[in-house]
C-alpha cells in the first residue's frame, strides 16, 4: 500500500505558486507533513483528496490514478479538512448516519453498527445524542476523525487536526490518531513539531511549496548532529548574535535568553554543543530557505 506523488506543481490564478515539483512516496503508517503557514500543506492535501486540480504531475494510490480517477479514490478516502466548517444543530449520531449513507453504506444495519463502533473508538458514544454545536473543540475534532473513518478508508488525510486544542485535548487526540495508522496510509499536516515527533514514523518538511527534507523524525533530527550550539545571552546581545552567527532560534529558559545556532565547527564565544532536536532541524531548514530568498 503506497501513495506516490510525482512532480506535482500548482499555481493559483493570482500567481501564487503553492506547490513546486513536489515528489513524495508515502507508505503505511502515520506520515507527517510539517510546514509553516502558507507552505502549501492544505493545497497538497486538497489535491490528494481530489478537491482541486494540479497544473502538472501525477498522484497514484494502490493503482488508482488519483487525478484521472477521482471517484475511485473517494471510495477509499477519509478526509478531515483544516476548516471542517459549521457544526449543525443535529446530534453526532444523526450526522454520522447521514454521512455513512452518502459514503455508500446503504445497508441500514451495517451503517448503524459502524457508527456505533466508531463513536466508541473516538470516545463520543456517551455524548452521541448531544448537539454537535454544543461540543468542545476537542470533541469536534474527534467527531471530524469519526466522519473520516466511516466507510473503512485505506487513505486518511487530516489537515492541521491539533491546531486550537488545549494540551489535554491534544493528548487525547494523539492517543486516538496513534491507533489509526498501522494498516493504512495516514497523512497528517501540521505546523506543530511535537505532532510529528509524537505520532509519525515518516515525514517531510515543506516550505514555500517545496519539499525541503524527507525521512524518519530520527533521521531528520540526526541530520544536524554535531552542528548545533547554544548559549545563554543578555537580551541586548541578541541582534549582534543574529548578525554574527546562523541563529536558527532564540527562546527563554527560566527567564534567561538562549540562542541556538548552526555551525560546522565549534564557534568562538562560549557556545555549548547541543543534541539536535527535530525542532532545530525544522528551524534550520526554514532559516536556510529564508536566507536564500534574501540573497
Ligand atoms: N484558493 C487560493 N487562491 C489563491 N491563493 C491561495 C489559495 N489557497 C491557498 N493560496 C495560497 O497558496 C499558498 C499555500 O497555501 P496553503 O496550501 O493553504 O498552505 P498551508 O496549508 O501550508 O498554510 C499560500 O501563499 C496561500 O495564500
Ligand atoms: Mg493549511
What DSSP element (H or E) covers 5?
strand 2-11
| CATH architecture classification, 2-215 | 3-Layer(aba) Sandwich (3.40)
Q: Residue 11 Cα, ligand 1 centroid: separation in angstroms?
A: 10
- The atom of ligand 1 lying closest to the CA of 44 is 17
pLDDT tens track for 93-104: 999 999 998 888
Question: Which residues sit opposite 258 in a β-bridge?
Answer: 232, 251
What DSSP element (H or E) covers 207?
strand 202-207
Question: Which residues sit opposite 231 in a β-bridge?
Answer: 259
pLDDT tens track for 145-157: 999 999 989 999 9
Q: Where are the domains of the chain?
A: 2-215, 222-294
pLDDT tens track for 227-246: 999 999 998 999 999 999 99
- The model's pTM is 0.92
Residue carrying the nine cell digits 489509526? 180
Is residue 181's pLDDT more than 90? Answer: no
pLDDT tens track for 270-286: 999 999 999 999 999 99
- Whether ligand 1 lies within 6 angstroms of the CB of 51 is answered as no
Residue carrying the nine cell digits 488519483? 66
pLDDT tens track for 46-87: 999 999 999 999 999 999 999 999 999 999 999 999 987 767
Task: Choose one of 9, 22, 36, 40 to mutate for the ligand 1 pocket test, by most ligand atoms within 8 angstroms of C-beta.
Answer: 40
Amino acid at each position: 500500500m503506497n501513495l506516490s506523488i510525482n512532480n506535482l506543481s500548482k499555481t493559483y490564478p493570482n500567481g501564487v505558486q503553492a506547490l513546486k515539483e513536489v515528489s513524495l512516496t508515502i507508505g503505511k503508517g502515520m506520515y507527517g507533513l510539517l510546514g509553516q503557514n502558507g507552505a502549501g500543506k492544505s493545497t497538497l492535501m486538497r489535491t490528494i483528496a481530489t478537491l482541486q486540480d494540479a497544473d502538472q504531475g501525477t498522484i497514484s494510490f494502490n493503482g488508482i490514478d488519483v487525478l484521472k480517477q477521482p471517484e475511485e479514490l473517494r471510495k477509499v478516502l477519509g478526509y478531515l479538512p483544516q476548516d471542517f466548517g459549521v457544526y449543525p444543530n443535529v446530534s453526532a449520531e444523526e450526522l454520522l448516519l447521514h454521512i455513512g449513507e452518502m459514503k455508500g453504506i446503504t445497508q441500514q444495519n451495517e451503517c448503524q453498527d459502524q457508527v456505533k463502533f466508531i463513536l466508541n473508538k473516538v470516545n463520543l458514544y456517551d455524548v452521541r445524542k448531544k448537539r454537535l454545536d454544543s461540543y468542545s473543540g476537542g470533541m469536534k475534532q474527534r467527531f471530524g476523525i469519526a466522519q473520516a473513518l466511516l466507510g473503512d478508508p485505506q487513505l486518511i488525510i487530516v489537515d492541521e487536526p491539533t491546531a486550537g486544542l488545549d494540551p489535554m485535548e491534544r493528548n487525547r487526540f494523539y492517543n486516538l490518531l496513534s491507533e489509526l495508522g498501522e494498516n493504512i496510509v495516514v497523512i497528517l499536516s501540521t505546523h506543530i513539531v511535537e505532532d510529528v515527533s509524537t505520532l509519525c514514523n515518516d515525514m517531510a518538511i515543506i516550505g514555500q511549496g517545496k519539499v525541503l527534507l524527507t525521512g524518519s523524525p530520527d533521521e531528520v533530527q540526526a541530520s544536524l548532529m554535531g552542528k548545533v550550539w547554544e548559549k545563554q545571552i543578555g537580551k541586548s546581545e541578541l541582534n549582534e548574535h543574529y548578525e554574527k552567527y546562523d541563529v536558527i532560534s532564540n527562546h527563554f529558559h527560566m527567564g534567561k535568553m538562549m540562542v541556538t545556532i548552526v555551525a560546522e565547527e565549534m564557534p568562538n564565544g562560549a557556545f555549548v554543543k547541543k543534541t539536535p532536536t527535530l525542532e532545530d532541524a525544522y528551524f534550520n531548514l526554514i532559516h536556510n530557505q529564508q536566507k536564500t530568498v534574501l540573497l
